[in-house]
Amino acid sequence: MAGTSLGARFYRQIKKHPGLIPMIGFIGLGMGSAALYLLRLALRSPDVCWDHKNNPEPWNHLRPNDQYKFLAITTDYKKLKKDRPDF
């Protein structure tokens, strides 16, 4: 066993226990979904500021009809009016 690679041992386990294939698929799907969601949060969220020099407070530059939530069921962002002061 010391000379075999990790991939070969993994393949041998899959051949012995084919019931592991769906579990590995779902774990991979969950990890991929979590990674994509974190990437979306890092790139599209107004709470994250990557450029402090040109835009130190990105949350002050949001228009009232910008949808930054992932899912908004009851709110129609196109019909919202501005109800806050400019800074």
Place of tokens 């835009």: 55
Name the pTM for this structure.
0.57
CA–CA dist 36, 87 (Å, integer): 33
Consecutive 10-residue averages of pLDDT for the chain (87 residues): 80 91 95 94 76 72 65 67 65
54 in Cβ contact with 38 (< 8 Å): no
Neighbouring residues of 41: CB distance < 8 A, sequence distance ≥ 6 = 48
Counting Cβ atoms within 10 Å, is residue 36 exposed (0-12), middle (13-18) or buried (19+)?
Answer: exposed
